[in-house]
Amino acid sequence: MNVKRLSEVQHKILKDKTLVMIFEKPSLRTRVTFETGMTQLGGHAIYLAPADINLGKRESVPDAAKNLSRWVNLIMARVYTHKTVKDLAKSAVIPVINGLCDIEHPCQIMCDLFTIIEKKDSLEQITIAYIGDGNNVCNSFIGASALLEFNLNIATPQGYEPNKDYLAKTKTANLTHDPKQAVADADIIYTDVWTSMGQEQSAEQKKEIFKPFQPYTP
């Protein structure tokens, strides 16, 4: 989209379409990129802060999904639980995008893989090493490796592995607890935050546990 924008060719494929953005968890990047993307493609984005909708309390998730389906064309939800995303998708009759939840972060991985393709031209025969916490980003990386068939080496400390169900569904992802083993044949080395939003109380403990998993050259 950047190439098309810089060429001054307008591609208004979302002209007159409205995206509603539900935020239970704040984010600079998610809000700005979704709003900017909708504007560049000719659409409009509406931001709903936690106090605006109060999902599951003032407004049930099914009711919110059904009402929004009557007014807008698309829902993006950045929420605390995967169940909320699934319940929105189940009750809505319009597309629902997972902007982030506790189990997955698919938009992050899509953007990062696009960046890798820009630099490497393709994901074919590419090996990516993921070093750090087996969190929502890691789970989405595993799902992407299964769909796009690139090799993914994962290195996490003991007790911080990604979701076992995700690993069981793919043969392209390999798990180890040795970061040196994970990066040995890697074309790309990737990491993420050790302490996700809402887990600040464990930050100091994680700093010690994750010290050997810092992807840098001394």
- Render pLDDT for 130-181 as a digit per residue (tens, 0 to 9): 999 999 999 999 999 999 999 999 999 999 999 999 999 899 999 999 999 9
pLDDT at 197 (0 to 100) = 67
Q: Is the pLDDT of residue 36 over 90?
A: yes
More confident of the two residues 139 and 5: 139
pLDDT at 2 (0 to 100) = 60
Q: For CA atoms 133, 139, 144, 149, give the dihedral sign.
A: positive
pLDDT at 112 (0 to 100) = 96
Instruction: For helices 82-91 and 61-71, give the axis angle rounded to 10 degrees.
Output: 50
Averaged over 43-61, what is the pLDDT?
92
Averaged over 107-124, what is the pLDDT?
95
Integer Cα distance of 183 and 155 in angstroms: 9
Strands (E), 24-108: 44-48, 74-78, 96-100
Global confidence as pTM? 0.89
Averaged over 120-139, what is the pLDDT?
95
Q: Is the pLDDT of residue 41 over 80?
A: yes
pLDDT at 11 (0 to 100) = 82
pLDDT at 198 (0 to 100) = 65
**Position 217 confidence tier, pLDDT thresholds 50, 70, 90:** low
Q: Is the pLDDT of residue 4 over 70?
A: no
More confident of the two residues 70 and 8: 70
Residue 198 structure tokens? 């809402």
More confident of the two residues 178 and 200: 178
Domains for the chain: give ranges and CATH numbers: 2-100 (3.40.50.1370), 106-192 (3.40.50.1370)
**Position 218 confidence tier, pLDDT thresholds 50, 70, 90:** low
Contact 134, 163 (CB under 8 A): yes
pLDDT at 70 (0 to 100) = 98
pLDDT at 90 (0 to 100) = 98
Q: If you average pLDDT over every residue of the chain, what do you get? A: 92
Q: Is the pLDDT of residue 108 over 90?
A: yes
Q: Which of 193, 199, 186 is nearest to 213 (CA)?
A: 193
